[in-house]
Amino acid sequence: MSSSSLCVGSVASVATSSRRDVFAARRKDSFRRLSSVARSRKLERTRRIMSPARAAADDASSVDYGDEIFFLKDAPLKDLIPAGPWSVIDGGVCAPAGFKAAAFKAGLRASGTRADCALIVADEPAVSAGCFTQNVVAAAPVLYSRKAVAGKNTARAVLINAGQANAATGALGMEDTLESARNVASVLGLDDLNDVLIESTGVIGKRIKMPELMRAVPLLAANLSSSAAAAAAAATAICTTDLARKQVAVSVPLPDGRVVKVGGMGKGSGMIHPNMATMLGVVTCDAPVEVDAWRAMTKRACQNSYNQISVDGDTSTNDTVIALSSGAAGGDIIEAGSECAVALEAALTAVHVAIAKSIAWDGEGATVLLECNVCGALSESDARTIARSVVCSSLAKSAVFGRDPNWGRLAAAAGYSGVDFDQENLQISLGPHLLMDKGQPLEFDEAAASAYLSQKGDEHGTVRVDVSVGDGDGTGSAWGCDLSYDYVKINAEYTT
């Protein structure tokens, strides 16, 4: 072999080797780039699926509870709460120790810029109670939460969305509720699905916008806070046609020297005629209380508050109130029948009554809160029934809106309530004006009575109707509002 051929062969060998090295380097670089992309995609999937709260943390850092999307004027609950040994404090559902709240704008509403979902979380398992609608067309979240409360004595979280009621949505609506609960449980690291309760409000027949809500869940978890601002934002986010947010908290001394707190928030403005509990509400407490005692006092509190209000006579498919007590205040567990239980129930009822009254005060198109107080009945149940009949009367409500002191409509409503009483014992007052006594009409200043109604309407105040039906021990109250032109307009155009 010639030296030249050797040289050529050597050069060719070197050239081939160089080309192989280049190709190898290119393949290695290509594999490296592909591997990097694959790792990035895998990390992103893991980031989204395995730890959504951590994945959302960067995006969530900009949430500011002072932003206008979390603002709505406050209903006057401080003026509406019954008097008692408690003190009204700030903080809403976050006032009691052991609770945090969050709110977010997920894009669930058909229009508007307001936040539309909220999350309330207990730091540790909290004793739970729930009251739910008795409408047979109950929404999926009602069916789910009712079963969850019945299946466990405690809960950790309540997820609430506004925009879609998820009622009359069949099996797919229930799956949406279950997916929501699973997502919240996953984000919070909870093993038991029954630890998560769900409330929904909005248009009946509409399923929840699940992609939007599921994206919001980790953002809610990442922004949980025990601040008053977070509680107020949550109270805003759950509202629909409400013109004011509804929240209140009280500090109450117990007979044994302890001081505990009760906080709550609610929503509701239309489709208000409950037969169970409330429109939507969450109440928190930090007293250590035995579960059966807590559930019994919650049921009684709801009976004397939300079940005594009406705006339009329509019972919602979604009515729900959830009450959680963390026990973070410490001390002995409060048992049924004890002095501490009596004191706690009084404060709990006051919070529920304040929220219930604020819902009637904020009734769609309302200009006044209508309060009817009944005494002299044979039982408290009879008194409550008569009072509710009066505030539910469309004729009476229309007269109040027209500033017409037409007391005959009040008498008629008491009479058809279904409660038997002697009409010769009937007494009716409108504010300071006595209109009827011992079954007999009285002369009264109609202009002054009309001016009373006008004054209350101008200040969006409370029109008080007092009814006595005898000399029994039964007393009861109910709350409603006047029936205005705007109510028809609001509900005629609700989905359009």
Instruction: Answer yes or no: 278 catalytic.
Output: yes
Asked whether residue 284 is marked as a ligand-binding residue, the answer is no
Q: Which residues pair with 248 in a beta bridge?
A: 264
Asked whether residue 364 is marked as a ligand-binding residue, the answer is yes
Which residues, in sequence order, are CB contacts of 27 under 8 Å at separation 6+?
none
How far apart, in whole angstroms, are the C-alpha atoms of residue 320 and residue 276?
Answer: 8
Q: Within 10 A of 31 (CB to CB), how many other CB atoms are there? A: 10
How far apart, in whole angstroms, are the C-alpha atoms of residue 456 and residue 494?
Answer: 28
- Burial class (CB within 10 angstroms; exposed 0-12, middle 13-18, buried 19+) of 446: middle
Can you tell me whether residue 227 is helix, strand or coil? coil
Which residues, in sequence order, are CB contacts of 9 under 8 Å at separation 6+?
1
Which residues, in sequence order, are CB contacts of 38 under 8 Å at separation 6+?
none
Catalytic residue among 133, 154, 201, 278: 278
Asked whether residue 397 is marked as a ligand-binding residue, the answer is no
State the DSSP string of 239-284.
-SS-SSBEEEEEEEE-TTS-EEEEEEEEE-SSS---SSS-SEEEEE
DSSP state of 390: H
Residues tagged in the binding site annotation for substrate: 240, 267, 278, 364, 491, 496
Residues tagged in the binding site annotation: 240, 267, 278, 364, 491, 496
Catalytic residues: 278
